Amino acid sequence: MPPSIGSPFLVAAFLLGLGVLLLLDLGVFNRKAHAPGPREALLWTALCVALALAFNGWLLWKFGSKPALEFLAGYLIEYALSVDNIFVFIVIFGYFAVPAEYQHRVLFWGILGAVALRATFIVLGAALLNSFHWVIFVFGGFLVYTGLKIAVQEETEIHPEKNPVLKFFRRMLPVTPQYHGHKFLVRIDGRRFATPLLLVLVMVEATDVVFAVDSIPAIFAVTRDPFLVFTSNIFAILGLRALYFLLRSIVDKFHYLKIGIGLVLVFVGAKMLASDFFHVPVGVSLIVIVALLGGSVAASLAFPRHRDDEAQDATDFDEKGSA
């Protein structure tokens, strides 16, 4: 594996900048619990994308076109996979009846956990690829299988009450029956209790583990540089919360996007499997990824679902949320 462009100084500077952004987010711009409206969500989404593109431009200026294209391809893959996260967040928030003004806080702390989790996964993945070349074929086969499964399966039903992490957590700590503002923990009669909001955060973090298993090998398929894998992941995660508030009411409109995401995973998995015999230039990979994702979005808009199907989906969601 070639040496990473991420020197210790560069990694430290990136983490420092990330910390400053998160402190400004929670401590200045979003000190009060509220539900961002469409305009605010659009502005934050545009800002997050602009930051990612600015970083991409800096990579192009500092290190040349190859790292910049690899970062952009990884960022697009992770950002597309974030749409699945959004669907899961909608189900979790509906199931626990989370007030809209507290959802932002859950997603903020979920991002902090995701940063640590992704860093751990990336370090382990890079170490495995560096020490055991055959792992690349395991990653590739897994991505092809996952991509085909996503592309052909029907909508996945999610049952939070069956999650083993949630069952274990409830056995370890008593939970209050109602919310206590934006607090995750409260003390009642001298005893410490978790609030339902902490359960929601645990569920969000548990689902991120599942998505990280898919997304991180997919980015390793377009770049082996751990710094580029990490930064593309983090920039996509930073934009996930704003994207959730922007798309939560219209995400079902992009019903063909799952097929596009599945095909992207199949493509990058096949690229991994064939890496010893055939090299796909990163520019070609980027074109294929954009074409698959853009084509699936265009198909969703050109061939919308029938109203009867959307009404049935809404009924199914209501039943899940009130279960």
* Position 190 in a domain: no
Q: In Å, how far are 66, 183, 204, 226, 238 from 104, measured between CA atoms?
A: 36, 13, 12, 29, 12
Q: Are 127 and 59 in contact (CB under 8 A)?
A: no
Domain that holds residue 297: 37-155+213-321
* pLDDT at site 315: 46
* Position 257 in a domain: yes
Largest CA distance in the chain: 67
* Position 147 in a domain: yes
* Position 129 in a domain: yes
* pLDDT at site 70: 92
CA distance 207 to 203: 6
Amino acid identity of residue 199, one-letter, is L
* Position 19 in a domain: no
Task: Enumerate the H helices of 251-306 as residue ranges.
Answer: 257-273, 282-302
* pLDDT at site 321: 42
* pLDDT at site 314: 45
* Position 258 in a domain: yes
Which residues of the chain are under the pLDDT cut of 50?
A: 310-311, 314-323
| Both tokens assigned to 142 | 């897994």
* Position 24 in a domain: no
Q: How many domains does the chain have?
A: 1
* pLDDT at site 257: 81
* Position 91 in a domain: yes
Helices (H) and strands (E) in the chain, counts: 12, 2
* pLDDT at site 322: 41
